[in-house]
Amino acid sequence: MDNPGALCLYRAVHYFPRYGAFVARSKITPERAVAFAEAGLQVLVIQVDYQGSPLTQRSSTRLRAETEAARAAGLEVWWWAWVRPDGKPKPGRPSGVRALRRRLEFLVRKLGEPPAGFFVNAEVGGGWSPGNPDLIAPAMAARAAGMPIVGLTSHGEIGPGWDAGAYDLGAPQLYRPGPMTLEWAQDCLASWKDAPYLWPVLGCSASSPADEMRSDLATAGELAIPGVLWWSATDLVKDDRLAAAVPAGAA
């Protein structure tokens, strides 16, 4: 490592010590929930809003059934939403912070309680400014809707104008083609320094070999990261990937 002292710096970062996975279109059945739990995962982060998309929303009935299945297996349930900024409409569903708040309030009413936590997914590709996006507004909207913990997830490396400190925790997406390197991961984490806690996200695609997942977990281990989220549950359940999602001894 070019800078051995950097490792000490990252050991001082507050990390969220749980293993979990983001759930997008995939359906969480009781059998699948049990498989996640038996593999050592502790948290499922279920998508609840598809802003700007013509895709059918996850119904409150389906969300309730998935929540019950996850909890019966001993998993904690969080929510996440792909959020677009105000003034960035696309064909399909309404976008922006007001639409986000209405959607979250609706689901809380239907289910009778909020999730354990919630993530705003805000990326440049979703219309957010690469320089100085207004990230405080969606954080406030989520809190106003009753979300007990509000996190931000986005690119692995964010610009200095990205206000990660407006959130309770940050989830930098530490994935790109090929294995994650220590130096690149350090650079990414440094850009999220204002977030009170970090919960890094590792990538698992349809073509990800299990050995590469274990390599990424080993790199996270070198940085003393005690828990990660995987993107996403859809590809995690295929082949031998689920067994590689949690380090040996952590399950």
Residue 158 to residue 150: CA distance in whole angstroms = 18
90 pLDDT band, cuts 50/70/90, is low
* Superfamily name and number for 5-244: Glycosidases (3.20.20.80)
- 236 pLDDT above the threshold of 80: yes
Which parts of the chain fold into alpha helices (H)?
5-11, 30-38, 60-72, 97-111, 136-144, 182-191, 210-222, 233-236
Residue 138 to residue 145: CA distance in whole angstroms = 11
pLDDT at 91: 63
Helix (H), strand (E), coil (C) string for 185-218: HHHHHHHCCCCCCECCEEECCCCCCHHHHHHHHH
Query: What is this structure's pTM?
Result: 0.93
92 pLDDT band, cuts 50/70/90, is low
CA distances from 11 to 171, 181, 213, 221, 226 (A): 17, 17, 22, 10, 10
Q: Per mean pLDDT, which range of 51-55, 93-97, 150-154, 239-243 is the poorest? A: 51-55
Residue 138 to residue 120: CA distance in whole angstroms = 7
Residue 137 to residue 134: CA distance in whole angstroms = 6
- 55/141: higher pLDDT: 141
- Residue boundaries of the structural domains of the chain: 5-244
Helix (H, G, I), strand (E, B) or coil at 43: strand
pLDDT at 4: 38
Instruction: Give 17's DSSP letter.
Output: -
178 pLDDT band, cuts 50/70/90, is confident
